């Protein structure tokens, strides 16, 4: 049994993990899924100055106010940026970090640094055209997402604050990082930016790499298979 805290993906929120909650509960885990400032049920707090630090603080505050320790920290997609910052700031509370098809930055890197200049330019153009210059328009879900899931998720997704992708992470802890696992979703189209982190997980000490036959949102598209893999990871790290 584990205490699990989620750092969710961009444009998303706690609601996206609806299918996973009963599975995690049945396994005896305690699951916290805070929504970042400006997204989901906190969309009314959206403002131009929200950055990566804001979202890191959102999750760190849950750890501190709930007095959570021995935490398994999940980071999905953009949430890997957040989880990396949380593990750095609250090292003593974290047992392991599980990156789920997620960005795994090193000190001084932003999400824009990790996706490359072409993707950055496209996203900035979208923000300039449809996001008042500071909001990244909602992206599309993977093509294998079931129509009923697309219909359920689409009205709940919200624009992402641009500064969350611009800000470079600052890592200051002098303690060794916790054990880290990386789950790579195999069903990728052109422009795959996540393979680099699986390669890192398979080559650097302190990491373990895993793969799943799924697209980018296994918590939505294949929750049972995803739960089985999470169970394996928590037994092995």
Catalytic residues, which ones? 77
Task: Using alpha carbons, select from 92, 71, 66, 97 the residue that is nearest to residue 82.
Answer: 97
Q: By 3-state DSSP, what share of the chain in percent is helix, strand and coil, each rounded to 5?
A: 45, 15, 40
Task: Using alpha carbons, select from 209, 210, 213 the residue that is nearest to residue 188.
Answer: 213
Task: Using alpha carbons, select from 53, 5, 49 the residue that is nearest to residue 169.
Answer: 53
| Token pair recorded at residue 79 | 């949430």
| Token pair recorded at residue 82 | 């957040």
d(CA 98, CA 199): 15
| Token pair recorded at residue 97 | 């970090």
Residue 59 to residues 99, 130, 151, 234, Cα–Cα distance (Å): 15, 29, 28, 21
d(CA 13, CA 7): 9
């Amino acid at each position: 049994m584990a205490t699990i805290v989620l750092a969710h993906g961009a444009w998303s929120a706690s609601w996206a993990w609806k299918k996973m909650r009963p599975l995690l509960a049945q396994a005896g885990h305690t699951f916290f899924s805070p929504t970042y400032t400006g997204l989901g049920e906190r969309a009314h707090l959206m403002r131009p100055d929200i950055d990566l630090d804001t979202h890191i603080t959102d999750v760190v505050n849950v750890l501190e106010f709930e007095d959570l320790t021995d935490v398994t920290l999940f980071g999905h997609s953009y949430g890997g940026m957040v989880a990396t910052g949380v593990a750095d700031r609250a090292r003593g509370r974290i047992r392991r970090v599980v990156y789920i098809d997620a960005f795994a930055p090193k000190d001084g890197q932003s999400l824009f640094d990790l996706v490359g200049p072409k993707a950055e330019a496209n996203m900035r153009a979208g923000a300039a055209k449809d996001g008042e210059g500071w909001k990244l328009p909602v992206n599309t879900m993977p093509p294998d997402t079931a129509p009923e899931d697309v219909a359920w998720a689409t009205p709940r997704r919200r624009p992402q604050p641009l500064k969350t992708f611009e800000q470079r992470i600052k890592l200051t802890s002098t303690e060794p990082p916790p054990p880290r696992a990386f789950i790579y979703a195999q069903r990728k189209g052109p422009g795959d930016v996540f393979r680099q982190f699986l390669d890192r997980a398979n080559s650097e000490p302190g990491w373990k790499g895993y793969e799943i036959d799924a697209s980018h949102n296994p918590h939505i598209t294949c929750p049972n298979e995803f739960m089985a893999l999470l169970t394996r990871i928590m037994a092995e790290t």
